[in-house]
Every structure is written in C-alpha cells, then in structure tokens.
A and B are shown apart, each in its own frame.
Chain A
C-alpha cells in the first residue's frame, strides 16, 4: 500500500470513530439519573409545563431519533446552549479551546525537549552517576501526578521566593512574555510526568539500538561518535519513543483538565469541570466531544508520522 493511500484510509477511519464517540457521549448523558426538564423547572414547574417542554425539545422521541437529530445539529455547529450561562456551547468551547491547546502544545515542547537529551545522555553514560540521577528523576516524574507537581511548585515558589503565579490568561501571540509567565508553572506540572516516561523510553530504546550490529559496523568504520549517536542510533530509537509520545498526548489533554483547575486557567478542562459540578450537560457533552475528537486526530497524525520516521514500516 502506498503511503498516500494509507494516509487517506487512516483519515477516513476517523469518521466511524468520531460517530462512535458522539453516540457514546449522547447515550451516556441520556442515562443521567433524573429528569433534566424537572431539574430545569425546579419544584414550581407543573407537570403540564414539563410535558410541553419535553415535546418542544423532542425529549419524548425515541433515543435513536433524538441522537440523529442532535447529530444533524452538531454537524451544523449547533451544540445547544449552556444551562448555566445561556450562551451557545459552541461559543463557550471556541473561547476556551485555544487555552487548552496552548497549554498542551507547550507541555509537549517542554517534556520532549527535556526528555530526549537526558534519555540519550543516560543511555550513552549507562551505569554512571549521571545515569543513576537521571533514572531517579524519571522515576519520580512518572510517579508524581501532575496535580501534586502543580501544588508543590506553587508551595515552593510562594514559601521560598514569595512569588505567586500571575492569574488570568493571555494568548501566546498577543503577549508571548506575559503568556509564558502565566503558563510556565502549568506547563512544568503538565509535562513532568510525560518527560519522565519519554526519557525512560528514550534510554531503553537507545540502549537496545546501541547493541545492534550496524552500530558496531559504524564504529569500526571509524565514524565520529556524535554521528553514530544522532544519525544511526537515535533515528532508529525514535519509533518506540514516537509511539509513546503519541500515547502520552492523550494523557496530556486529560492532564490539562486538572492542571487548568489548579492554576485557574480558563480552558476546556475548567469548563468541563464547572459543567460537571453544575450538571450543565450540554457543556459537558461539548467539552468531552472536542477533547476526544482532538485526541483521535492526534493519534491519527502520530500514525501517519511513522511513515516519515521509518519508511520500512509496511501498512495494511
């Protein structure tokens, strides 16, 4: 199969997955105990009024019918209205989406740019003191949840340096310095765990590759060590690392939900949690859908990236 054909197939495979995600989210939210109309009306609403609203909203129709009519609206960008703010859900999502994406993007940059060099250094200095400390750091990083890293960072900086992270949010393209000041702590909290696991994977993949015959051949040819490490070893060690980075991106999106809460960032995660606490189900559905579909897209992009990193891989 040609790469182009594979890419098209991989993108087309997203359609049934996205439909499945929408169906699952719709069915799940419809299983919420309690009648949403009665909750909406409160104790003063009469049964007649409740029936009238159910009829208006189509809640008296069968589940599958309601799903398809909701899907039709969704495809036109209509996700309903927030029960709390009465604003369109799509508007709420649009204002929050870029906050989460900037946080996740910087989280990846931070963790990969930290993990790759220390993973490589750890592998080429196997069983030395620096290898030992890097492995300990990686193990702590993997074991420390992002919310604990966030809380301890705030605690450390406020108690030792009397410095508190600035509150609010500025887009990176509006004011990069201010944005980085606001995002630096959330990014460290979010990326530490990923940095830990990526550096562990880089180390183990590099050790595996460095034992291969072609590395010995490259050494016997007298190639400079730097060339052997970066051109021959690292490129081949990149496949499992890339797989892990792809997998971790999902956790990063999930982690952003928690980190936004700690640092009061107005992102999708914060919106989702406010939605859950207030039983604002249109908002909950919107947030879950957007995060899950971005996750599915990212996974597809990572799969496609393999083709460029390792042309030996055959696709079916």
Chain B
C-alpha cells in the first residue's frame, strides 16, 4: 500500500503542470475550510460609509456597493463553489455508478432502457439541462447541486457501463460467479474496484465543469441566492456599477478562472497517471 502511494507521489513530481494544479487545488480546499480564519470580515457585513472603495490595506480586493469586503466574499465564495462542485459531482458519480453497473452487468432490456434515457439526457447542452431542472425545482443551493448532479449523470453512466462491459468477461469475474457469489457482492467486491480509475479521472475533470455551471447559474440569478456569496452572482451584480468599481468584476472572474484552471490541470495530471491510455 505504502509503495503504491510512494509511486503515485513520484509520478506527480514528474508531472509538473499537474502538480501545480494539485497544489492550487489543495490551497483552495484550505481556503474554503479555513474561510472564517482567513476572511478579515463577515461576507455579509455591510458598511455603507465605505461603499465601492478600491483595493487597499483594509480591503485587499476593495468593497462592493453595500460596502461589503470583496476579499472576504471571494474567500467564502470558494467554500460555496467547492461545496457545490463536490456534492454535484458526487451525485453524478453515485447515480452513474448505480445505473452504469446495472446497465453493464445485467445488459439486455435494462441496459437499453437506461442507456436510451441517458442518450436523451445527453441530447441537452448541460447548462440547458441544468436550467430545466432549476425551472422545475426553483432556484436554491440544494437544487443547484441536484441540477448539476443530473447533468453529470449521463457521462458517468456511460463510462461505468463501458468499463463493466470490458471487465464482465474477465476470468476472475467468471471464477467469482462460479464460486456462487451473489450479484451485489460480485459487483461491489470484484467489478467496482476494477472500474474506478476512469471514474476518478472523470470526476476530477467534472469538478471544474460543475464549478463553472454553478457560477453560470448564479450569474443568471438561478443558482445560489443572495446574500450568500457566490462568484457567479458577485460578477453578475458587478455589471451594474463596474465602470465605477471595476475590481468587483475583475476579482470574481479571476477566482473562477484560477479555480477552473487548477482543477483542469489537476484532472489532466490525474488522468496521465491513472489512465495513460486516454492522454489528450
């Protein structure tokens, strides 16, 4: 086990760009967890005397039209973005695992039903599918996560199904079946561990997409609702007065860009290590 971890870390060190992505991702996770310790002000604390002030020693990223500290809102926004990203991708992974395992292992009619349904979901651009779900459920933090989770479901189902199809005929699966193992145990103990690599790679890449979709929905006023700080809604709000306070548009944009970029680099690095066959 220890040897595997050492090998894994060694490969990370070789993959410099992936390593940079991983470091920034770790930093972002730290910022999200330690937000109350890092942020100098509460993200909701208004100070009407210091409205739309530029960056200074008191307010590193300036203030918005309510005098709220932009830096603190960006720091707390990281928490929201990562929370939505992780939970939404987890919804996609879990549902994709259940449906993909069923479709791939049992095949036939169940496979057809599940995969045709996934084809229909795939027929929607992801932001459109998320908008449909939000239109039905209404905008809120939970519904944003559900909506993004649903948009992630088809890709994970397809990946899991394809992996199960290739693993299903392996000799160790036949042997386990011959030993009389029940389907659930066989799927959980023998098939699942052997199909996880592409799922992990896709999950790391899907995180950046989920963060982007959350920002887009919040930008449109259909994601995280004010006053909860979200980078997308901060950017949307800034449009009304950005000529007077350009920093209110620049910093949320940079936060989104850096986060998405680091998750992309991290995902690419992970793919190179875990699944070198699909190198792009």
Chain A residues in contact with chain B, CB under 8 A?
16-17, 20-21, 23-25, 28-29, 31-33, 139-140, 142-145, 147-148, 151-152, 154-155, 158-159, 200-201, 204, 250-251, 253-255, 257-258, 261-262, 272-273, 275-277, 281, 284, 288, 291-292, 295-296, 299
Contacts and interface: CB of A to CB of B under 8 A. Distances in A.
B131 interface: yes
B135 A276 contact: yes
B222 interface: yes
Q: Is the interface of A mostly helix, strand, loop or mixed?
A: helix
B264 A20 contact: no
B215 A253 contact: no
B212 A145 contact: yes
Contact of A253 (B125, B242, B261): B125
Given A29-B136, A140-B257, A276-B131, A261 B249 contact: no
Contacts of A142: 260-261, 264
Nearest to A21: B123
B278 to A, nearest CB: 12
23 contacts: A20-B120, A21-B120, A21-B123, A21-B124, A24-B121, A28-B135, A32-B136, A143-B261, A145-B212, A147-B232, A148-B235, A148-B252, A148-B253, A148-B256, A151-B242, A152-B249, A159-B243, A257-B128, A257-B131, A258-B220, A276-B131, A276-B222, A288-B132
A68 to B, nearest CB: 18
Interface of B: 116-117, 119-121, 123-128, 131-138, 208, 212, 215-216, 219-222, 232, 235-236, 238-239, 242-243, 246, 249-250, 252-253, 256-258, 260-261, 264-265, 280
Contact of A258 (B127, B242, B246): B127
Contact of A257 (B127, B133, B256, B280): B127
| 3 closest residue pairs by CB, A with B | A254-B125, A143-B261, A254-B127
Contacts of A288: 124, 128, 131-132
A284 B128 CA distance: 11
A31 B138 CA distance: 12
Contact of A151 (B136, B235, B280): B235
B128 A201 contact: no
Given A20-B116, A148-B235, A261 B220 contact: yes
A258 B134 contact: no
B125 A258 contact: no
Contact of B216 (A204, A258, A296, A299): A258
Nearest to B246: A155
A255 B220 contact: no
B269 to A, nearest CB: 13
A250 B126 CA distance: 8
B264 A28 contact: no
B216 A291 contact: no
Contact of A284 (B135, B256, B261): B135
B260 A145 contact: yes
A155 B244 CA distance: 10
A51 to B, nearest CB: 25
A152 B253 contact: yes
Contact of B136 (A28, A272, A296): A28
Contacts of A296: 123
B119 A17 contact: yes
A253 B265 CA distance: 26
A21 B216 CA distance: 23
Contacts of B238: 151
A147 B280 contact: no
A212 B131 CA distance: 45
Contacts of A24: 120-121
Contacts of A204: 280
A128 B33 CA distance: 40
A29 B134 CA distance: 11
Contact of B120 (A17, A144, A273, A299): A17
Given A147-B216, A147-B219, A273-B220, A254 B135 contact: no
Contacts of B123: 17, 20-21, 292, 295-296, 299
Contacts of B232: 147
A142 to B, nearest CB: 7
A291 B257 contact: no
Contacts of B124: 21, 288, 291-292, 295
Contacts of B221: 277
Contacts of B125: 250-251, 253-254, 291-292, 295
A154 B280 CA distance: 34
Contacts of A151: 235, 238-239, 242, 249, 253
B127 A255 contact: yes
A151 B220 CA distance: 13
